[in-house]
Amino acid sequence: MDVTIGVQHLPREVVVETDQSADAVATAVKKALTGGPLELTDSRGRQVIIPGSAIGYVEIGSEEQRKVGFGAV
């Protein structure tokens, strides 16, 4: 699942591909907005930490895999 994070005063957004559930990511975002940092682990095991005060927006992608090929039509 992709998580897109808009950081204040940065022209580009941060995109993290994670194996965490949407509920776990939403809980981490809510916790970060109350004063702590946003801590996520990407699908390769790397940790991404963003100060909660710098978060502009967070877009949490769906947990479904996209269909590829002619069967998606």
pLDDT band at 62 (very low <50, low <70, confident <90, very high): confident
- As a whole number of angstroms, the distance between CA 26 and CA 72 comes to 29
pLDDT digits (tens, 9 = 90+) for 9-60: 999 999 999 999 999 999 999 999 998 999 999 999 999 999 999 999 999 9
The pTM score is 0.80
